[in-house]
Each structure stands twice: as structure tokens, then as C-alpha cells.
Amino acid sequence: MTDLSSYPITHKWPATDPERLQLYSLPTPNGVKVSIMLEETGLAYEPHLVSFERNEQFSPEFLSLTPNNKIPAILDPNGPGGQPLALFESGAILVYLAEKTGQLLAEEPAARYETLQWLMWQMGGVGPMFGQLGFFHKFAGAEYEDKRPRDRYVAESARLLGVLDQRLQGRDWIMGDYSIADIAVLPWVRCLVDFYKADELVQFERFGNVRRVLDAFLARPAVQRGLNIPART
Ligand SMILES: N[C@@H](CCC(=O)N[C@@H](CS)C(=O)NCC(=O)O)C(=O)O
């Protein structure tokens, strides 16, 4: 029986079954990348809700696993060499889970690097830029009189959507086959349109390929499940 008691995070969020991968998250665009990946791969796991309302991302137990105070994070009791592995950063977690299961990341080197390229494109571009647009359009920044910061992120988000739209021309998914690149990018597109309601600002109707692939993504049963994990209580 695996003993995870040396990980303080398990004191605040106890593992019912310490043989299972433990997920610490919230259903945000970064959080659902990992729950969708876990649902797609069929790995056994236990989700734990990290409540921002209760500021649990700043609790010492959470910080013991991820000093960056951001979800998602995982603790896999059966990591490399059969030893527990703790990980944060959604992109790193996606790569880890893909390699652990042999799913959703091509083995052939060129295709593998190309998938990682699009994953990094999401991590360094789409996530930070769309997130800032959300701040300036939906959250506190919407009150600012000066619209130049908002417009900067609108322009950059629209540019990124244009890049994605071009990539998806003639392809079912970013890599042709469904992969971790789609799982990284598409929750952010959904967030921009459905949650931030920035579709008019970025003139989303121009990006027909993105709309098509987003709809295909949202139709997947594993995606539909993952979008609500961990359940908000
Ligand atoms: N680069 C990180 C970003 C994670 C991130 O920004 N998480 C947000 C939710 S989507 C968060 O935990 N925010 C809590 C906070 O900033 O206090 C990743 O992809 O894992």
C-alpha cells in the first residue's frame, strides 16, 4: 500500500485510495486541461477541489506541492521508478500523462516535437493573452476608462485565433489526430467565447475552422465530463 502521508497536501485533501493519482484543481481553462486528459486516457484518479473562494491555493498544504499557488497540480503515487511524483504546470502534466499512458502524443519524433510546439504556443501565448483579455473585458479591468490595455489584448487574442484558424484549415485537429495540443488550446477558446463573452470583440465569426474544431471538442464525452471536474461545491 502506497503511503502518501509525507506529502502535506494529503493532510488537507486526504486520498481515499492512495494508489490513485490525486488531482488538485478547479474547473477553469487551465484546470480542465488535466481533468479532460484524465477522462480521455481512462486513468484512475481522485479529484480534489481547491477553492479560490476560500483562498485554498495559498494554504501551506497546497504550497507544499506547488509554490506557484496555482491549479492544476497532481500527485501520482506511481510515478517514474514506481515512486510518487508531484507536478504542477498544466503543460508539464499533459506531457507526463501522455507519456505515462502512451496516448495523445505522437511517438514519432518530428510529430512529437510539433505537438509540443503547439502546446508551448498555448502555454506562452493563448493562456496568458486570453487571460488578460478576460481581466480587462469581464473582471476588474472592465471598469478602467482607458481602453488601450484591453484593446492590446483583443488584438493579440485575435491574432492568435487567426494563427489557429489557419493551422486548422484542412485538419480535424491541430495535429491532424486529436492530441494534448487540442486539450491545451480548446478550453481557452471556449472560455474566451462562452465565459468572457469576448466573441464580438475578437470578431470570432471570422474563425470558422476554430468554431468547427471547438464544436467537435465540446461534443466529446470525455471533454463534457472533464469540464465539470472537480465539481464545484
Ligand atoms: N501556467 C499555469 C497557469 C495556472 C493558472 O493560471 N491557474 C489559475 C486558474 S486558471 C490559478 O490557479 N489562479 C489562482 C491564483 O492566481 O491565485 C498552468 O498552466 O498550470
**Which residue ranges make up each domain of the chain?**
9-103, 109-220
The residues lining ligand 1, judged by C-beta closer than 6 Å to any ligand atom, are 28-31, 52, 57, 69-72, 89-91, 127
* pLDDT (mean) for 107-112: 98
Ligand 1: which residue has its CA nearest to atom 12?
A: 70
| Closest Cα to atom 19 of ligand 1 | 90
Q: What mean pLDDT is reported for the chain?
A: 98
pLDDT band at 230 (very low <50, low <70, confident <90, very high): very high
Can you give the pLDDT at residue 28?
Answer: 98
Is pTM beyond 0.95? Reply is: yes
Atom of ligand 1 nearest to the CA of 93: 20
In CATH, 9-103 is 3.40.50.2300: no
Nearest CA to ligand 1 atom 5: 70
C-alpha cell at 100: 505515462
Cα–Cα distance for residue pair 15/222, rounded to 1 Å = 23
Q: Which of 43, 25, 30 is nearest to 222 (CA)?
A: 43
Q: What is the pLDDT of residues 34-57, one digit of tens each?
A: 999 999 999 999 999 999 999 999
Distance 163 CA to ligand 1 centre (A): 24
Which of 30, 37, 94, 135 to mutate for ligand 1's pocket (most ligand atoms within 8 Å of CB)? 30
Mean pLDDT value across residues 1-6: 90
d(CA 230, CA 57): 15
Identify the H or E element spanning 100: helix 90-101
Which residue of 71, 90, 96, 122 sits with most ligand 1 atoms within 8 Å of its CB, as the best mutation to test the pocket?
A: 71
Q: How crowded is residue 42: how many other Cβ atoms within 10 Å of its Cβ?
A: 10
CATH match for 109-220 among 1.20.1050.10, 3.20.20.10, 3.40.250.10, 3.40.350.10: 1.20.1050.10
CA of 84 to the centre of ligand 1 (A): 23
Tally the C-alpha atoms within 13 A of residue 73's C-alpha that lie toward its C-beta.
Answer: 24
Distance 170 CA to ligand 1 centre (A): 33
Q: What is the pLDDT of residues 120-154, one digit of tens each?
A: 999 999 999 999 999 999 999 999 999 999 999 99
